[in-house]
Amino acid sequence: MAKIRLTTAQAAIRFLKNQHVARDGREGRFFAGCFGIFGHGNVAGIGQALQENPELLYYQARNEQAMVHTAAAYAKMRNRLSTFVCTTSIGPGATNMVTAAAGATINRLPVLLLPGDIFARRNVAPVLQQLEQPYSQDLSVNDAFKPVSRYWDRINRPDQLITALPEAMRVLTSPVETGAVTLALPQDVQAEAFDYPEALFEKRTWTISRPRPDETLLKTAAQWIRASRAPLIIAGGGVIYSEATEALARFADRTGIPVAETQAGKGSLHYDNPLSLGAMGVTGTPGANITARETDLVIGIGTRYSDFTTASKTAFQNARVRFININIAGFDAHKQAALPIVADARAALEDLSETLEGHHVPAEHRARAEQFNRQWDAEVSRLYNLEHGPPISQGEVIGAVNQVSDPQDVVLCAAGSLPGDLHKLWRTQDPKGYHLEYGYSCMGYEIAGGLGVKMAAPDREVYVMVGDGSYLMMANEIVTSIQERHKLNIVLVNNHGFSSIGGLSQSVGSGGFGTRYRYRNAKTGQLDGDLLPVDLAANAKSLGAHVIQAADLPSLTAALQEARQTDVTTVIVIETDPEERVPGYESWWDVPVAEVSEMASVQKARAEYEKGRGREQHLL
């Protein structure tokens, strides 16, 4: 067998640049490039190998967590058919990725992480940034990636790569298993040479299949659907990743079954499809939540049933409710004791459509859904045009962004009060037009994630909607967006702190404690002094962004229009009223309130909480 002598790092990069993915006959490279921050743990290993292999283009980031968010967002935008490699030094550079690795794994998005690691040879230990333990030398900070990775390995000898790399690819390209994959690379091993078999570096194409449903289970599912008086589809991210949105629209239209969407599933239907009930669950619409409460049959497609979707298991109150789950992952398909259709979403919808030929739900069920759809649209219009303030309401900001953006543009968000408001209010017109990281809801994802979306879809305008709290946590990838000339439209919603957690704190009887950005007050000793003098506009400008400050709805709309004309990342700063919130509709979320307290407000909140908990169900 022909051999080629390469370092471990060179072999890894040479392998990775030759990996392709195919689905439905369309093929492309799996890795769009490699993000990295160099230190002594990777500069002479992976860094050198990247320099020698410019086909796997190197991208610089400001923060290791951010670059993994960028990779995950890119993968999400590409429906998991492509992603980035992320390389770091050892120690803090490596562990900075742990948070975003968890985010990728929770959201089922592929990212390949190559953290540098301590010397395998050990003779010079402890090296700079090494965590020592008296009980073992077979341990480093990179072991912290184990629980947040779908596949984890440490390459202690160059030849271990030969078996590790294909395993990494198998997991990354599997829609069932995908998430963060970590290959920890000791810094000495990265530079060691080995005679690798040349076959390792031949082009490989990983085919993503569309497994079809089991026939017996499909027949049972069809019987259940025929027997149901008021079925409801819950569309999750799997619908979009599988590119099943058209199949879903046809299925809904033929059968008359209404569709509610999770955060990851929003965009499965065009917002004005008459059978669209909009958002489901805690941040859902009245139509979706009332239908869910009464339904006798839930058809969950590509959803992992987070507590936001199930309203902490209070959403389904019909004593006879049953579940059919269409999911590529058996793990999710079996949730809620469902009839598990373990299959690709598109394939399953096609097969189910055929099996149900001619079936239609009772006409009044369809008519009711269509009425909910119209009523909700009127409520959205009301909240878009509240004429509050200034400071204006967050709903009005969302309305302005929605109205200025084109149908194929992308809105992106992750944490704070914006995700819930967007889930309810954003009028989605394209399956990839709504990008919420709400599996981990990680503050700091927004700008880094926006960059990933723009890299995946340079022809679309990307609207990053970010709160001041998230912005202050991680705004740094503005610099990368400017470096790479990937223009972002960043709408920075300033309400001087945490409106979301502030509201939550009020609802649990704590009055917003610790959620405002205010000076420590000499009189009270608490953080309830004057507002902090942070100049967010100046901050964004200092990073190289074009900045526009808006004060009211007309100036916000003008700023958004101006931003469309620029080709440099633009930050629009708008102040909103933190107390003018979009309400909740017909739902509940389990956030435990102190069982005992001397505070009357907490005792009252606890009594309310217990009522809510009483509605939680075991779905068996």
Interface residue list for ligand TPP (CB under 6 A): 415-418, 441-444, 467-470, 495, 498-501
418 binds, among Mg ion, ligand TPP, none (CB under 5 to 8 A by kind): ligand TPP
Instruction: Name which of 343 and 574 has its Cβ closer to Mg ion.
Output: 574
Stretch that binds Mg ion, among 96-104, 184-192, 259-267, 469-477 (CB under 5 A): 469-477
How big is the site for Mg ion, counted in residues (CB under 5 A)? 4
Whose tokens are 């001041």? That residue is 468
CB of 577 to ligand TPP, least distance (A): 11
Q: Which is nearer to ligand TPP, 182 or 394 (CB)?
A: 394
Give the nearest distance from C-beta 338 to ligand TPP in angstroms.
29
Residue 394 CB, shortest distance to ligand TPP, in Å, is: 7
Out of ligand TPP, Mg ion, none, what residue 500 binds, judged by CB under 5 to 8 A for its kind, is ligand TPP
Q: Cβ(574)–Cβ(582) under 8 Å?
A: no
Residue among 441, 486, 497, 484 at smallest CA distance from 459: 486
The least distance separating Mg ion from the CB of residue 473, rounded to whole angstroms, comes to 11
Given ligand TPP, Mg ion, none, residue 11, with its beta carbon under 5 to 8 Å by kind, binds none
Q: Is the peptide bond before 158 cis (omega within 30 degrees of 0)?
A: no
When CB distances are held under 5 to 8 angstroms depending on the partner's kind, the choice from Mg ion, ligand TPP, none that residue 501 binds is ligand TPP
Dist CA 452 CA 70 (whole Å): 4
* Cβ nearer to ligand TPP, comparing 444 with 452: 444
Q: Could you tell me what percentage of the chain is helix, strand and coil, using 3-state DSSP and rounding each to the nearest 5?
A: 40, 20, 40
| CA dihedral (382, 384, 385, 387) positive or negative | positive
**Among 411, 572, 394, residue whose Cα is nearest residue 500:** 394
Q: Which of 469, 502, 503, 509 binds Mg ion (CB under 5 A)?
A: 469
Q: Does 495 bind Mg ion (CB under 5 A)?
A: yes
The closest alpha carbon to 149, from 189, 200, 194, 98, belongs to: 98
Q: Which does residue 303 bind out of Mg ion, ligand TPP, none, counting CB within 5 to 8 angstroms by kind?
A: none
C-beta of 505 vs 617, nearer to ligand TPP: 505
- The binder of 315, among ligand TPP, Mg ion, none, by C-beta within 5 to 8 A per type, is none
- Vertex 550 angle, CA 547 and 552, to 5°: 170
Nearer to ligand TPP, 349 or 383 (CB): 383
For ligand TPP, give the closer residue by CB, 58 or 440.
Answer: 440
Q: Which stretch binds Mg ion (CB under 5 A): 60-68, 143-151, 182-190, 466-474?
A: 466-474
Q: How far is the CB of 194 from Mg ion (least distance, A)?
A: 52
User: What b/e string do you get for 204-242 counting C-beta neighbours within 10 Å, with b at 16 or more?
Assistant: bebebebeebeeebbeebbebbeebebbbbbbbbbbbbb
- Tell which positions 316-335 bind Mg ion, by CB under 5 A: none
Give least dist CB 467 to Mg ion, A.
Answer: 4
**Least distance from C-beta 283 to ligand TPP, angstroms?**
13
Q: Which amino acid is at 593?
A: V
End-to-end CA distance of the chain: 56
Nearer Cβ to Mg ion (480/495): 495
Q: Read out DSSP for 298-361? A: EEEES----HHHHTTTTS---TT-EEEEEESSHHHHTGGG-EEEES-HHHHHHHHHHHTTT---
Interaction between residue 186 and Mg ion (CB under 5 A): no
In the complex with ligand TPP, the residue whose CB is nearer, 105 or 255, is 105
β-strands 231-235, 204-207 pairing: unpaired
Residue whose CB is less far from ligand TPP, 30 or 438? 438
Instruction: State the amino acid at position 309 in one-letter form.
Output: T
Give the H/E segment covering residue 521: none
Q: Do β-strands 276-279 and 259-261 pair in parallel, antiparallel, or remain unpaired?
A: parallel
Of 261, 332, 468, 477, which lies in the binding site for Mg ion, with binding defined by CB under 5 A?
468
User: In this structure, are strands 26-29 and 19-23 parallel, antiparallel, or unpaired?
Assistant: antiparallel
Interface residues with Mg ion (CB under 5 A) are 467-469, 495
